[in-house]
Amino acid sequence: MALAEEKSTTVRAEKPRNPRERAAGRLRPVFGLLERTAPGPGSHLAWKLWSTPTRPSPQAVARSREGGMGEVRRVRVTLPDWTGRRPTRRDGTTKPTQTTEIAVELLGPGDGPLVYLLHGWSGWRGQFSPIGRRLAEDGYRVVLVEAPNHGDSGPGALGAKQSLLPDFSLALAEVIRLLGPAHAVVGHSLGAACTASVLLDGTPAEKAVFIAPPIDPVAFTKVLAPMLGFGERIRSRMVAIGERRTGIELASQILPPRLLGRRDLPPALIVHDAGDAVVPVVSGRKLAESWPEARIVETERLGHNRILRDDEVVALVAKFIGDTPTSAAATTSGRCEAGSCRP
């Protein structure tokens, strides 16, 4: 199905280099050898790389917090135990749940409508500081959430150092359950896929914003494989490790099939850069096609991360969240809210 004209508008962007490509060169010969001779050990190494987020640079974190931020709390949440090879005991019964602490940063008035923001893979809550500050100024109670094993949060369902999409989603759903109903949810990159998953699993919200959303984790593993230099023998085993650990089939996390027939979801704004080298813009377009009430705005020269700091994107997100349900629905008409948007 072609992207509906009324669902699409364009704003501004750049052609950023993909940092994964720069880091992958030295691993390709190793994985090439393991693919041919030892796919089992190779799959465990690939799984470790796939599920282990990297820490952002301290300088980047410090820059995102310039000017001061809000109150930091640690919310105790309950998650399943995926720390062993399987999510069940030897007799097949489910293992007891475990608790961990998720770091959240609170901005804005305590009685404002709650807006939850979730960063992407290897990200941190401060990446949302421009959008968070703007929403706080508009009177919202902003909750910047750090995913398990990211920032100041504790371990997640997979234990220390490792995380996956279901881990992100479960933690976000628990934070919303404990802190209060969401007026809106905003996610970036993997965090966007997770916020969509949380809504699909029944957590209500009045608005949703997805910035640079990936929609297909299976397809991502097929991009990761050649990037790191391994083939299908390692890739399929790597996916199987994750599915055994969590009890969740990776293909069940692909978003468009989950959206078929759904009419109980909030209006969504999708913002995606046309030159995004990390999550190609086609992903955002397909989500816009599949989401029952959505508008996509495509930017230029903003890449995958700088899009979060752009003044026009910040204003666009704030306006969408602040619109009444009637005027929010009207954004599907293709009306351009940012000054440099063009039809």
Q: 100-137 pLDDT, tens per residue?
A: 999 999 999 999 999 999 999 999 999 999 999 999 99
What is the extent of the structural domain holding 81? 5-53+69-89+98-333
In the predicted model, is pLDDT for residue 198 greater than 60? yes
Residues with Cβ within 8 Å of 296's Cβ and at least 6 positions away in sequence, in order, are 3, 7, 8, 9, 270, 271, 272, 284, 285, 287, 288
Structure-token pair, residue 92: 């097949």
Nearest one of 80, 93, 120 to 245, comparing CA atoms? 80
Q: Look at residue 59 and tell me if it is in a domain.
A: no
**234 part of a folded domain:** yes
The 10 Å Cβ neighbour count of residue 49 is 16
Q: What is the mean pLDDT of residues 215-243?
A: 96
| Model pLDDT, residue 15 | 44
Name which residue leads in pLDDT, 210 or 94: 210
In a domain, 237, yes or no: yes
Distance CA 338, CA 273 (A): 14
Domain annotation covers residue 104:
yes
pTM: 0.88
Q: Given this model, what pLDDT does residue 57 score?
A: 82
| Structural domain contains residue 340 | no
Is 121 a member of any domain?
yes
Mean pLDDT of 35-59: 93
The 10s digit of each residue's pLDDT in 268-302 is 999 999 999 999 999 999 999 999 999 999 999 99
The verdict on residue 60 lying in a domain is no
CATH number of the domain bearing residue 297: 3.40.50.1820
Q: How confident is the model at residue 96 (pLDDT cuts 50, 70, 90)?
A: very high
Backbone φ, ψ for residue 132 (5° rounding)? -60, -45
CA separation for the pair 335, 8 (Å, rounded): 9
Within a domain: 62: no
Residue 314 CB neighbours (<10 A): 20
**Has residue 19 got a pLDDT over 70?**
no
Whole-number mean pLDDT of the chain?
88
Q: What is the pLDDT of residue 63?
A: 76
What single-letter DSSP state applies at residue 339? T
Domain total in the chain: 1
**Span 141-193, pLDDT tens digits:** 999 999 999 999 999 999 999 999 999 999 999 999 999 999 999 999 999 99
